[in-house]
Chain A
């Protein structure tokens, strides 16, 4: 029975072993000497939710850490000045996105002084009210640093309302090449643990579990040392197996619990935060520093000096690449984020944003994709899928344009982790099929929504016209009736008059 239970609910499903390429950068300290660029490009939308609204005008002088745009609505995050200088422009500038479509961006011409705005440092941060912690985190513009960029304060406040008992800190960092979290834990473990304590307090949760992949023993030791004396934070090593950092996979491995397909982690009393977010929370609350910089892994075959570097938000990627001695002629693909789920960027003249965990300059060799061959149904993709889907069957449905059949097979549960494409011996771009299908379904939904809307409007109009017609008719009838009634009345009156007359005459005669 136990065996059956295990087969049905293994702690770890699917996943792949990638060639990590992590040793390129994991042994080197975080580089903090990147010169302040002449210009910083800060998009007002670097998070999930509504874009922030600028509160500065062109020509304003700003200090480091000053608010540039405040958050709009419940799910949003503010952005701050990464360095001191003058607001040069508020323009539409290409976003770090595969499309590179322009979005609203605040451009700062830096003065090189890097002068902080005045701020009050909290004396006893761990005794702050939970609400106060959430407010400070929100005001500092902290978002999920693992790449999801969901505003952290929203997650913390949600946690307070939902009786959260467990905080999971995701330090899996399973993506190839990435070591920014690894280095962060190795070098700034105490700050990270401080952030976790603040998060626990902010949510009113009892305990935290940190999951670290077992290919980061130094980070594991550093973290263990840092929270040695703290009883309610435990650290667990998890197997190195992409996508270990998928929050639901991490949760299942650490606790055995599974989140319902239509629910969230909060439904079962858990909140999952990235380890980088914990560090940002620490900086926000304990040092009153908003999120204006982040650690970025710069790696890949075309990079001369692979490293982790602390980069001001808004620095152009091309400047970071120059700093790391990138051979531009060798770049075959520029990727923001990890090599599995990151976005390919069309050019490097885009800013580093809060979501930029890595910049990978990959050479032709790194991304070599041989010809696509027919599927041989080897079922490697099924074994590799962490979500328990049938990628090969879904792809064949999508190829036949039977998107609904693909949805029946679980297309909507796909997390686009790329394991299936990675293992496919025929090099079929399976994830691309699923992304296409999801986009297409969304489009169809939009079209259907639109046509329903149009139909409703048309129906409304028809009803209205009908009503007007009926009303007109009724009015006409009423007028007619009224006229007829008047005519009848007049006739009646006439008739009475003539009748009365003879009567009168008779009476007169009688008299």
Chain B
């Protein structure tokens, strides 16, 4: 028997950080798998490289920090970050884009703040935005759908990821949102631009896009599974999606030729990923349900504003980073009411029932 002073509780839950991370990774895997099927081996190579780089960088940082590497590395947060970075990349991006993404995410996004739980910004979104503004060409080369083992040879696919020169001309195009943005600048109307848009194909994910963001359906299913598992709360995704739905419906009703329909807005894998997996990141989002609703609504509104009037076709990354910056403020003002007190901290008045 020990005589060290211990405090209750003497029993604990079986929920662990690594189990949470593992479940989130599992929830993402269908979408990633689908991306690999859709875009072939280069997508697979890119995913593996990005995740491996994330793990390596994490290990180096932990080593520099002077802590034992394994217990921290095995918590799964680096794998998750790497996977999220990979999912937001164009599927045929060269290997160094993935590695750079992981380096930015892990070092600048997480470890410089002090590691897990300390970062202000979502590491994956930080990496995405940094890459997007630094390497706009590589980050917007959206390859056509070319399913696994059908399009290109094994050697070629290796070359796409790891080689120097592989011309992507002719097999790339724009994403739906990108095409709409460019079309508007050429004074085209929506009905022309969306003539070959198939909502259903976009929903299941059979379209151009980022590696793991094409399939709204699979990401949505993964997110719903996470809610059912109790890993994330429904408030956050719902407030993101509801705010976009509301705004787009309003503007679509005003002018259906210049504003995308709510269906096109919502039917986007990137939005689903943000709503269910990025906005719900514990570390960088508010702590209270009300704070989460404010955060989610803010994200949704910013995404709509950037998509509609901003310079970029997709605004999820920027929206998340901006809201991340506001999170400490939200947490400062939105607190739960303490038992027996009003919100301002004063004890409640005695009411004789």
Contacts and interface: CB of A to CB of B under 8 A. Distances in A.
Tell which of B13, B283, B335, B351 has the most Cβ of chain A within 10 Å: B13
16 contacts: A13-B339, A98-B5, A98-B6, A268-B351, A332-B2, A333-B1, A333-B2, A342-B10, A374-B117, A376-B117, A379-B288, A388-B336, A409-B335, A413-B340, A421-B8, A422-B12
A380 B230 CA distance: 10
Interface stretch (B14-22, B44-52, B165-173, B175-183): B14-22
Contacts of B71: 371, 373
A424 to B, nearest CB: 8
Contacts of B201: none
Contacts of A485: none
Contacts of A362: 10-11
B168 to A, nearest CB: 39
A263 B350 contact: yes
Interface in B112-133: 115-118
A61 B7 CA distance: 41
Given A257-B351, A362-B11, 13 more contacts: A268-B351, A268-B353, A338-B8, A339-B11, A376-B282, A382-B287, A382-B288, A388-B339, A390-B336, A418-B9, A421-B8, A424-B12, A425-B19
Interface stretch (B144-152, B207-215, B303-311, B341-349): B341-349
A349 to B, nearest CB: 11
Nearest to B331: A393
A268 B352 contact: yes
Contacts of B7: 344, 429, 431-432, 435
A435 B8 CA distance: 10
Nearest to A19: B11
> Which 9 A-B residue pairs are closest in the complex by CB-CB distance?
A261-B340, A418-B9, A379-B287, A388-B336, A261-B347, A378-B282, A262-B347, A260-B347, A340-B9
A425 B16 contact: yes
B338 interface: yes
A374 B353 contact: no
B19 A255 contact: no
Contacts of A421: 8-9, 12
B10 A333 contact: yes
Nearest to A333: B10
Interface of B: 1-3, 5-13, 15-17, 19-20, 71-72, 75, 77, 115-118, 282-283, 287-288, 331, 335-341, 345, 347-353
Nearest to A348: B1
Interface majority SS (helix, strand, loop, mixed), chain A: loop
Contacts of A374: 115-118
Nearest to A423: B13
Contacts of A259: 340
A440 B13 CA distance: 28
A99 B13 CA distance: 27
B349 to A, nearest CB: 7
Contacts of A176: 11
A426 B17 contact: yes
Given A379-B282, A418-B9, A387 B117 contact: no
A105 B351 CA distance: 45
B336 A386 contact: no
Contacts of A212: none
B353 A257 contact: yes
Given A335-B10, A339-B8, A376-B282, A389 B350 contact: no
B112 to A, nearest CB: 15
Contacts of A19: 11
Given A378-B20, A426-B17, A248 B9 contact: no
A389 B353 contact: no
A27 interface: no
A377 interface: yes
A376 B340 contact: no
Nearest to B290: A7
A390 B10 contact: no
Contacts of B116: 373-374, 376
Interface string A357-397: 00010100011111101111111101001111110110000
B336 A389 contact: yes
